[in-house]
Amino acid sequence: TDSDAADEAVRTTCDDATTCKRFATSQGYWKDLHIHYFVRNVGERKAPEINRGYYARVKGVNLLLDEFIKKTECKCQIINLGAGLDTMFWRLKDENLLPQKLFEVDFPAVVAKKIHNIKTKPPLSKPIIDMHSTDSLLLDAHNLDSDRYCIVGADLRDISSLDEKLKKFHLNPELPTLLLSECVLVYMTPSQSSNLVHWAAETFHTAMFINYEQVNMSDRFGQVMIENLQRRQCTLAGVEICQSLDSQKDRFLTTGWDHADALDMMTVYSMLPQQDVARIELLEFLDERELLQQLLQHYCICWASKDKLKMLSILAKI
Ligand code: SAM
């Protein structure tokens, strides 16, 4: 059906993200010691502004994420919504920042691919097994459940089934919880993504939500971005929330979150540790800085929080 084809097109966006990250890390933008287990080949060269865009995305999101984990002294859980082939588990383990449990959710077909890689590659499976205390590790074609890492196949538009699956794998509503969605909510209608962020606000009393996606989409450049995706059968069903930073924040402020902030990625780029930015700017020559600016002004990080335990205050500003 049309909707199956649309879902399939959305699933392929996961490969885009992974191949772009694979290429950027091969050029030295940042380190990812595990991504090559998911995409073997470096693939074709990407434009320097794309690589810098991914650099800003990864660094910006990790800054907030790591701050949350440190603030809660790892007594927290993370739920990565639409995680794709993200290698966060291995990075956090290597950096001694593993939360009590990391949950990842994606379509069953994407999860099956990720689990297949984990099953067949010891450098991926060994750290999971090492962090697991009993012999009850569940690793079948569609689910992984261990003490510290859980991967679930589910459709994020079906909240009751999502809730049920996460609870089955011992999601703890009492723990401070970080929810993350990178380029995921934009593929859902505004009411579907509202339901999801509302569910999160209802489920946890102390939580933070980090969302990365398109913004400022009503100008000419935004239109071109939309057309490029449509050419690949990929519809940005949630594009009306991508009109402005305010509409991004409103999605959270109207669904039970106490605070929300949003920055476009050009601003984030200018706030990242400038010594490292100077380093990556030497990696590849960029002759038109305007192109970078235009691209980064069309993506944002929005983060929202609710903080009954009053432990997240430092996160109010990057
Ligand atoms: N967050 C990952 C990253 O940044 O590398 C992957 C991003 S990719 C652009 C979007 C991911 O969201 C895909 O893996 C896709 O399968 C997943 N996704 C989108 N809509 C979804 C839904 N309704 N249910 C489950 N997963 C979904």
pLDDT at residue 316, rounded to an integer: 47
Report the separation in Å between the CA atom of 84 and the middle of ligand 1, taken as the mean of its atom positions: 5
Question: Residue 76's closest CA among 164, 167, 209, 174?
Answer: 174
Q: What percent of the chain has a predicted confidence (pLDDT) above 90? A: 85
Total domains present in the chain: 1
What number of other Cβ atoms are within 10 A of residue 109's Cβ? 13
Question: What are 228's two structure tokens?
Answer: 């490029």
- The mean predicted confidence, pLDDT, of the chain is 94
Quick one: residue 208, left, alpha or beta (phi over 0 = left, psi -120 to 50 = alpha)? beta
Sign, CA dihedral 16-18-22-24, equals positive
Q: What is the pLDDT of residues 77-107, one digit of tens each?
A: 999 999 999 999 999 999 999 999 999 999 9
Residue 120 has pLDDT above 70, yes or no: yes
pLDDT at 66 over 70: yes
How many helices (H) and strands (E) the chain has is answered by 12, 9
Q: What residue's CA is closest to ligand 1, atom 12?
A: 82
- In this model, does residue 315 exceed pLDDT 70? no
Phi-psi region of 96 (alpha: psi -120 to 50; beta: other; left: phi over 0): left
CA of 106 to the centre of ligand 1 (A): 6
Q: Which residue, by CA, sits nearest to atom 19 of ligand 1?
A: 184
Closest CA to 179 of 112, 236, 255: 255
pLDDT reading at 309 higher than 90? no
How high is the pLDDT of residue 202?
97
- Residue of the nearest CA to atom 4 in ligand 1? 182
**Structure confidence at residue 155 (pLDDT):** 97
Residue 191, number of CB atoms within 10 A of its CB: 11
Helix or strand run (H / E) with residue 271: helix 265-271
- The pLDDT tens digits of the residues spanning 180-209 come to 999 999 999 999 999 999 999 999 999 999
ipTM given for this complex:
0.99
**Cα–Cα distance for residue pair 109/310, rounded to 1 Å:** 39
- Residue appearing with tokens 């999101």: 61
| Degrees, nearest 5: CA angle 266-88-167 | 115
CATH of the domain at 247: 3.40.50.150
Query: Which residue matches tokens 């099956």?
Result: 112
* Closest atom of ligand 1 relative to the 181 alpha carbon: 1
Check pocket membership of 104 for ligand 1, CB cut-off 6 A.
no
Report the distance separating Cα 294 and Cα 280, nearest Å: 19
**Per-residue model confidence as pLDDT tens digits over 235-274:** 899 999 999 999 999 999 999 999 999 999 999 999 999 9
Give residue 232's pLDDT.
Answer: 87
pLDDT of 118 over the 80 cut? yes
Print the domain residue range for 137: 2-316
Q: Considering only CA atoms, which residue is closest to atom 7 of ligand 1?
A: 14
Q: What's the pLDDT band for 310 if we cut at 50, 70, 90?
A: low
Distances (CA, A) of 290 to 7, 270, 297, 300: 34, 14, 10, 17
**3-state secondary structure string, 204-218?**
CCEEEEEEEEECCCC
Atom of ligand 1 nearest to the CA of 157: 23
Round to whole Å and give the CA distance between 189 and 172: 28
Q: In the predicted model, is pLDDT for residue 318 greater than 50? A: no
Phi and psi (nearest 5°) for 153?
-90, 120
Report the amino acid identity of residue 45.
Answer: R
Other CB atoms within a 10 A radius of the CB of residue 79 amount to 26
